[in-house]
Amino acid sequence: MSVIQNRPSQREVQSPPPKRRGVTVRGKSLPYLFLVPSVVVLATMMGYPLVRMVLLAFQNMNNYRKFVNPSLVSYVGFQTFSSILSDPLFWQVIRRTLVWTALNVALSMLIAMAIAALLGRISPWARVTLITVLLFVWSMPTIVTGTVFRWLFDNAYGVIDYILYLVGFKGMLHHDWFADPNQGLYVVVTSVVVWGALPFLVLALHAGMTQVPTELKEAARVDGASPLQVYRNVTLPILRPLLMITTALSFIWDFQVFNQIWTMRNGAPEQGYWTIGVYLFEQAFDRNRYSDGAVISVAMIVVMMLVLVFYIRQMLRIGDQK
């Protein structure tokens, strides 16, 4: 009874002052109208292709069947899935991708935090210099970066070998960094990816660190905390949300690295260099096994989402405990 009575009066109170959102309150259909173009574009250029991709995953489509013998194309259920999932190469690629991504994320986060902390304790001129360098690094397109680093690590005239030779590693002159895919991927490509990832991470973390209230740090110091303890017990907890976001972003970026590997191996990465993006490209576009490519795409999205969900839940749990 009272509820029924209350309703109209509430409505009266709410409706007269249009205190809500400026320019455009009334006209219930207007916001939907505004969304139409983007929804249409994203549905046709992304939603529908993703559906097509999933459908492809349940077919047996490849170049030959598509162009030479279309009658052989059919829906084969999970057959393509099982043939990919039973291929040791697939699991090898997945493992390599996860290990390599973890290495890249960990390295870039650690180095970025060190450099961000460094930025906080140097003179202004040094800070400006370092930030300027970081900006130029950040601005480099990945295709260009890969091309430049392939030249740096060139085994005949590359400068890295020469520098190592100069500082005393005489045997490193004309060292071929790419001969062993493990060295090529885990050392050389990692160095490119970390190098390219640092600027964003450093500047974001540095901005976060400057927002840590100095009173808190002072207080901790007065209470006898060492700089390291201040960092661990004051700065880090405040930075945690930012650390979580930057780690998640790093994972998303590093997990799907393609351009750097592609350019460093000059458009033909050997199997030892296949992370999931490269593997997908090779199967789907180089060998034109479209359905295989679709299955790998599904796997790529699933693995990425799994890791992200796991990671976010893990972070939330830690957050709950504190």
Partner 1 sequence: MSAYRRAPRRAMTAFWNTVAMLVAIVLGFPIYWMLLTTVKSNKDLIAQHPTFWPSHWDFSSFSSAMDDNFGANLWNTVVITLGSVAISLVVGLLAALAVARFDFRGRKPFIVAILVVQTVPLITILVGLLPVLNSANLIGSLVGLILAYLVFTIPFIIWTLRTYIVGIPVELDEAAMVDGCTKAQAFRRVVLPLLAPGLVSTGVFAWIQAWNEFVMARQIMGPAQNKTAMVWLTFFSSTPSHGSDYSGQMAGALIIAAPVIILFTIFQSRLSTGLTAGAVKG
Q: Which of residues 244-263 bind partner 1 (CB under 8 A)?
A: 245, 249, 252, 255-256, 258-259, 262-263
Which residue in 6, 129, 182, 210 binds partner 1 (CB under 8 A)? 129
**Interface pick for partner 1 out of 64, 91, 162, 169 (rule CB under 8 A):** 162
Kindly state whether residue 214 participates in binding partner 1, applying the rule CB under 8 A: no
Q: Which is nearer to partner 1, 160 or 185 (CB)?
A: 160
Q: Name the minimum Å distance from CB 2 to partner 1.
A: 28
DSSP 273: G
**Binding string, residues 74-113; x marks residues near partner 1 by CB under 8 A:** ----------------------------------------
Q: Does 148 bind partner 1 (CB under 8 A)?
A: yes
Q: How far apart are CA 19 and CA 171, in angstroms?
A: 74
Least separation in angstroms between CB 103 and partner 1 = 19
List 7, 11, 14, 50, residue binding partner 1 (CB under 8 A) = 50
169 forms part of the interface with partner 1 (CB under 8 A): no
Question: Smallest gap, in angstroms, from Cβ of residue 221 to partner 1?
Answer: 6
Q: Which of 64, 78, 91, 151 binds partner 1 (CB under 8 A)?
A: 151
Query: 205 near 246, Cβ under 8 Å?
Result: yes
Report the distance separating Cα 117 and Cα 209, nearest Å.
8
Find the binder of partner 1 among 6, 7, 49, 91 (CB under 8 A). Answer: 49
CA distance 161 to 275: 26
Among 90, 149, 177, 231, which residue interacts with partner 1 (rule: CB under 8 A)? Answer: 149
- Residue 155, classified by CB atoms within 10 Å of its CB into exposed (0-12), middle (13-18) or buried (19+), is middle
Shortest distance (Å) from residue 5 CB to partner 1:
26
Separation of alpha carbons 208 and 144, rounded Å: 30
- Judged by CB under 8 A, which of 107, 115, 197, 261 binds partner 1? 115
DSSP category for residue 270 = -
**309 is a contact residue toward partner 1 (CB under 8 A):** no
The answer to whether residue 172 forms part of the interface with partner 1 (CB under 8 A) is no
227 binds partner 1 (CB under 8 A): yes
Binding of residue 62 to partner 1 (CB under 8 A):
no
**232 close to 259: Cβ distance less than 8 angstroms:** no
Q: Which residues contact 90 (CB under 8 A, 6 or more apart)?
A: 84, 279, 296, 299
Strands (E), the chain: none
Token digits of residue 1? 């009874």
Residue 251 contacts residue 308 (beta carbons within 8 Å): yes
Residue 174: partners with Cβ closer than 8 Å, 6 or more residues away? 155, 156, 161
Which parts of 272-291 interact with partner 1 (CB under 8 A)?
277, 280-281, 284-285, 290
Regarding 170 and contact with partner 1 (CB under 8 A), the answer is no
Cβ(119)–Cβ(206) below 8 Å: yes
Tell me the two tokens of residue 141.
Answer: 């397109």
